[in-house]
Amino acid sequence: MKFAEKILFAAFSILLTALALVACRPAGPQIEIKEAWGRPSPIQAGTGAAYMVINNTGSEDDKLISATSNVSEAVETHDMTMENDVMKMFRLDGIDIPAGSSAELQPGGKHIMFIGLYNKLEVGQVITVTLEFEKTGQQTIEVEIREP
């Protein structure tokens, strides 16, 4: 191989590798759920709450649109505000998870709410929750019940 050919070959290889890398970069959202936990609930038919951090490491926005679980009749996303010491809670129609960003669900803020629990939620129990994202689709996670 001539020297010039060698150079050309090397340049071409580099170009190909770069192209491959670009192609492999996750297109669309990349959802990752961490630190999921739920609060114990003392009454059957009562309510419960779960918290977690939802990361989107991808290049496209996503949105948590709904959740289901076999522990309660309904699962909803709620948020609350505190104004002049008055707590106002309200239902959300979903939680946005922008690209390269994360949503933190934590006490005193956004949370997954279980309504009409079939059983009490007790410390140590692990429940399964399926989250439905607009683009990523369904993600099933395990949520440990523990004291805050």
Partner 1 sequence: MTTSENHTQSTRPIWVRIGITFLILLIAGVALLVAFNRLKPYAFHGAILQSPNPAQDFSLTNQYGQKASLSDYEGKVVLLYFGYTTCPDVCPTTLAEIKRALTVLGDRSDEVQTIMITVDPERDTVEVLSEYLAHFDPSFLGLVGTPDEVAQVATSYGVYFQKQETDSALGYLVDHTATVMLVDQNGYLRLIFPYGTEGSEIAEDITYILDH
Distance, CA of 51 to CA of 111 (rounded, Å)? 6
Residue 91 makes contact with partner 1 by CB under 8 A: yes
The least CB distance from residue 22 to partner 1, in Å, is 44
Q: Which of 116, 125, 139, 141 binds partner 1 (CB under 8 A)?
A: 116
Q: Specify the DSSP class assigned to residue 71.
A: T
Give me 35's structure tokens.
């630190």
The least CB distance from residue 78 to partner 1, in Å, is 7
Q: Which of 60, 61, 76, 132 binds partner 1 (CB under 8 A)?
A: 76
The least CB distance from residue 109 to partner 1, in Å, is 8
Tell me the β-bridge partners of 73.
none
The least CB distance from residue 94 to partner 1, in Å, is 13
Which residues in 18-47 contact partner 1 (CB under 8 A)? 39-43, 46-47
Distance, CA of 140 to CA of 76 (rounded, Å)? 15
Signed CA dihedral, 147, 91, 131, 30: sign only: negative
Residue from 35, 7, 24, 22 nearest 104 by CA: 35
Residue 111 makes contact with partner 1 by CB under 8 A: yes
Residue 98 makes contact with partner 1 by CB under 8 A: no
Give me 138's structure tokens.
């369904």
Give me 48's structure tokens.
């419960």
Q: Which residues contact partner 1 by CB under 8 A? A: 39-43, 46-49, 73-74, 76, 78, 80, 82, 85-91, 107-108, 111, 113-116, 147-148
